[in-house]
Structure 1
Amino acid sequence: MSTAAAAAATTTTEEPQVLIPSLPDDVALNCLARVPRSHHPTLSLVSKPIRTVLSSPLFFTTRSLLHSTEPLLYLSLRSPLSPSLFFCLTSRHENDRTLTPVPPIPSAPVGAAYAAVGSTIYVLGGSINDVPSANVWALDCRFNRWQPAPRMPVGREFAAAGAVDGKIYVMGGCVGDTWARSTHWAEVFDPGTGTWEPVASPIEVRDKWMHASAVVDGKVYAMADRGGIVYNASNGEWESVESELDMGWRGRACVVDGVLYCYDYLGKIRGFDVEEKAWRELRGVERGLPRFLCGATMANVGGKLLVVWEVKRKVVEIWCAEIAVEKREGGREVGRQGWLLPQWVLYRALLGGCSLMYLNV
């Protein structure tokens, strides 16, 4: 090969590939970041440069700055195959939603706690071979990749957890029978620094075992076996859960516009307003939704109430319903049901061990 030909070949090889011909790359990136996630698989087939940029941190940062992120729902299901299988609820359009498998967690625990910060879901503790674990796994939902996060100082299972102002608070799930465990009965994790710090807690709450948790107005509410507790992250104070909430909160719950929703003993959805300290039945959803006594779980997805349940047939069918909640005069809450999603799962999923996590990506 001549010297001129070699130089031309080198120039061609090193020449940067543009995202969109005739557009500067920063303008092209701005355009691509506005494309809905449902079109990304097709978009990745256009060219190698576009396929590369769709999986880059810069692309997701641009989407966030342009407020083009979209709500994603992740489900953790228990089955005979694994104590923790993750799925992401995705959609190509309004009436075409499906559960997409996520790579399995490297060491799947039973009874882990969950919290979401930014585009990351944290799986906290749980038991492995009946031993409470201090492991923390982080799922980067931009790329659906698992990474180990800094371990907790003590092992936990069935703990309460919640994210407030970008930090994760976790409490319970361990027996406070030693000085170390008592000191770390409640802790806070800062993802920015990767550090765990103990949270001072009164002695009388350290014998409680948690069943459910939620965050309302910067406070972490935790349902316990004997009286729920509340931690105010802004001032570090502990309180007891109001008796009305303590008696009425059963099973998993979620918070929409400051109202905590769950199912009551009659299988009806009820909401507890922490300011008014009163329960109210959610009306307008009698048709299309079965009456649950247990086994259903909920999430706040983009300001709407999402309910997930199972229908047991030859295989287990997972159903979702999206409900827009309106608060009318007289304090009456009315739900307007949106879409229903049937999804066949080929192994027996147990929604009794199901958790929902919502975040924007």
Structure 2
Amino acid sequence: MSISTSPAPSADLIPSLPNDISLNILARIPRCHHRTLSLVSKAFRSILTSPIFFTTRSLLHTTQHFLYLSLRFPTSPSIHHFYTLRQGPISPKHSLALVPPPPPPPRIGSAFVSLGPHLFVLGGSFNDVSSPHVWTLDCRFHTWEPLPNMRVAREFAAAAAIGNKIYVVGGCVVDTWARSKNWAEVFDTVTEVWDSVPSPVDVKEKWMHASAVIGGKIYAMADRGGVKYEPESGEWDCVESELDMGWRGRGCVIDGVLYCYDYLGNIRGFDVNEGVWKVLRGVEKGLPRFLCGATMVNLGGKLLVVWEGKGGGGGGKEMEIWCAMIETEKGRDDGELWGKIQWVDVVLNVPNGSSIVHCSTVMF
């Protein structure tokens, strides 16, 4: 595959090879080796952080999934501290690396959405004043850019991405015509334009706490009675009662199954086709009995669970952030959900009283 129409590097990447072939070779190497590759030459270092390199990886289908985690520290509860999960090419040790924070002012109750290599942070409040502002983190270069404001200021809204569009629902009081009309909005990431999404009156009094995309529909968990929305038809409906009673937020979807963590210390999955919750079996011995602050994400088809552990040193002034990678499958005969833990590790020590705000998966 050649992308000769794109600008070529100014220096030879690999002597005796055309640069487009060299670029195709480098683009196939996993990201965990890129830090070592950047030490080879200035040309390597330059190409590994260039747009043409990421375009080549996308064309070759060699993109990978990466975890981005937002934490809140007790000394600065309104500031989001962003980290990404990394692993060395040889050492099995996993760790979180700090990435640049979003521009001020800090906000509480922002909504998060990932789409391709971008992480979007929508709304939130500062000094009890809701914001319509939207920022996006380009995870390839770790740079923040502002996007057009939402039509309505929001905090603690639900948000999800389908195709090239981002949907945001709730998080505002519908005490004006504008807030009522724009209680739900959609952002086209290509045209960068916000449009209102028509919604029935009876859903606009709900406050959303979590969201997920299942089968092309947006499911949003509310304070009382979750809702679902199908963008293709524009139809709103109530979520199944069984799902509504068991969904506790901070979940993710893998192969059409919504996974979340319940108050009894179980990871459970809900298959909308069957309409029942099932406990994820096979992981009981590999995980602690209770996972404080547990949240989870689909990381390349596998279930990555993140939770807050107890003190990990620092004279009792620190706590640990733990991660576990779990491969899930559905039993062919009994339909039960099974998990196989691939690794469990402490990835970061943080001050006591810290909390996990959100985790997302990006792909580049």
Q: Does TM, scored on the shorter chain, surpass 0.5?
A: yes
Cα distance in 1, alignment partners of residues 210 and 354 from structure 2: 17
Cα distance in 2, alignment partners of residues 33 and 200 from structure 1: 43
Q: Secondary structure at the match of 2:280?
A: strand
Which residue of 1 is the match for residue 4 of structure 2?
none
Query: Within the alignment, does 1:331 sit opposite 2:327 as a pair?
Result: no
**AA matched with 1:78:** R
Q: Secondary structure at the match of 2:199?
A: coil
The partner residue of 1:170 within 165, 168, 171 is 168
Which residue of 1 is the match for residue 281 of structure 2?
283
The partner residue of 1:42 within 36, 47, 70 is 36
Which residues of 2 match residues 55-66 of structure 1 at below 5 A? Answer: 55-66=49-60
**AA matched with 1:358:** T
Q: Where does the alignment leave 5 or more consecutive residues of structure 1 unmatched? A: 1-14
Which residue of 1 is the match for residue 301 of structure 2?
303
Query: Within the alignment, does 1:320 sit opposite 2:316 as a pair?
Result: no
**AA matched with 1:330:** D
Which residue of 1 is the match for residue 134 of structure 2?
136
Cα distance in 2, alignment partners of residues 119 and 310 from structure 1: 26
More displaced 10-residue stretch of structure 1: 94-103 or 250-259: 94-103
More displaced 10-residue stretch of structure 1: 197-206 or 101-110: 101-110
Question: TM-score, length-normalised on structure 1?
Answer: 0.93
Cα distance in 2, alignment partners of residues 26 and 62 from structure 1: 10
Q: Is the 8 A contact 1:251 1:294 kept in 2?
A: no
1:171-217 per-residue CA deviation (whole Å, 9 max, x = no partner) reads: 00000110000011000001111100000000111111111111111
Q: Is the 8 A contact 1:266 1:291 kept in 2?
A: no
The partner residue of 2:223 within 208, 222, 225 is 225
What is the Cα deviation at residue 251 of structure 1?
A: 3.1
The partner residue of 2:21 within 15, 20, 27 is 27
More displaced 10-residue stretch of structure 1: 183-192 or 88-97: 88-97
Query: Within the alignment, does 1:154 sit opposite 2:152 as a pair?
Result: yes
Cα distance in 1, alignment partners of residues 164 and 340 from structure 2: 32
Query: Within the alignment, does 1:194 sit opposite 2:197 as a pair?
Result: no
What is the Cα deviation at residue 294 of structure 1?
A: 5.1
More displaced 10-residue stretch of structure 1: 74-83 or 95-104: 74-83
Question: TM-score, length-normalised on structure 2?
Answer: 0.92
What is the Cα deviation at residue 293 of structure 1?
A: 6.8
Q: 1:348 to 1:190 in 2, by over 3 A?
A: farther
More helix by share: 1
Query: Within the alignment, does 1:84 sit opposite 2:99 as a pair?
Result: no
Which residue of 2 is the match for residue 104 of structure 1?
101
CA RMSD of aligned residues (A): 1.5
Q: 1:294 to 1:39 in 2, by over 3 A?
A: closer
Q: Secondary structure at the match of 1:339?
A: strand
Which residue of 2 is the match for residue 355 of structure 1?
358
Cα distance in 1, alignment partners of residues 127 and 223 from structure 2: 24
What is the Cα deviation at residue 279 of structure 1?
A: 0.7
Instruction: Report the number of matched residues.
Output: 346
Query: Within the alignment, does 1:69 sit opposite 2:67 as a pair?
Result: no
1:102-133 per-residue CA deviation (whole Å, 9 max, x = no partner) reads: 10111232111111111111001011121111
Identity %: 58
Cα distance in 1, alignment partners of residues 197 and 353 from structure 2: 36
Cα distance in 2, alignment partners of residues 294 and 271 from structure 1: 19
Which residue of 2 is the match for residue 12 of structure 1?
none
Q: 1:85 to 1:151 in 2, by over 3 A?
A: same
Cα distance in 2, alignment partners of residues 195 and 343 from structure 1: 38
Which residue of 1 is the match for residue 6 of structure 2?
none
Cα distance in 2, alignment partners of residues 344 and 25 from structure 1: 39
Q: Is the 8 A contact 2:292 2:309 kept in 1?
A: no
Which residue of 2 is the match for residue 341 of structure 1?
345
Q: Where does the alignment leave 5 or more consecutive residues of structure 2 unmatched? A: 1-8
What is the Cα deviation at residue 288 of structure 1?
A: 2.0
Cα distance in 2, alignment partners of residues 64 and 57 from structure 1: 11
